[in-house]
Amino acid sequence: MYQEYNPNPTGKRREDCVIRALTKALNVDWDTAYMKLSAKGFEEKEMPSVNWVWGALLRDMKFTRVGLPNTCPACYTLKDFCRDNPNGTFIVATGTHVVAVVDGNYFDSWDSGDQVVTYFFRR
């Protein structure tokens, strides 16, 4: 189920989806998530928004990356994922977006439930 969520202190709603997702999954504020991600990007000498950089941060935080079977690569939506995962904390990636899922609810600044899931991290 969709839960409107925007921890950005200025109320901005674009280009910070990874940080928004991290705040929910790690239970930290926006500034803390931004700094953790920026530090990881600095350590890796890469932009913080690059998928493998925030993925490395999640692995440091004891998350595990899980790929989806290729049985229906264009039909498994975020809503489907939430229905199938009613318990736990996840960071879910689509082709162009990242969102936190906690106990079957997805937390985002807009209703991204129709986005197609490509992979996810679980704690």
Average pLDDT over residues 5-28: 94
Question: pLDDT tens for residues 34-72?
Answer: 999 999 999 999 999 899 999 999 999 999 999 887 777
Whether 29 and 43 have beta carbons less than 8 Å apart is answered as: no
Q: Which residues contact 25 (CB under 8 A, 6 or more apart)?
A: 58, 63, 89, 90, 91, 100, 102, 123
Instruction: Give me the mean pLDDT over the 75-82 stretch.
Output: 95
Which single residue is written with the structure tokens 């504020």? Answer: 29
- Map 24-51 to HEC letters: HHHCCCHHHHHHHHHHHHHHHCCCCCCH
| Per-residue pLDDT tens over the stretch 90-113 | 999 998 999 999 999 999 999 999
Give me the pLDDT at residue 90, please: 98
Q: Where are the chain's structural domains? A: 2-122
Residue 68 vs residue 2, higher pLDDT? 2
Span 3-17, mean pLDDT? 92
Neighbours of 84 (CB within 10 A): 10
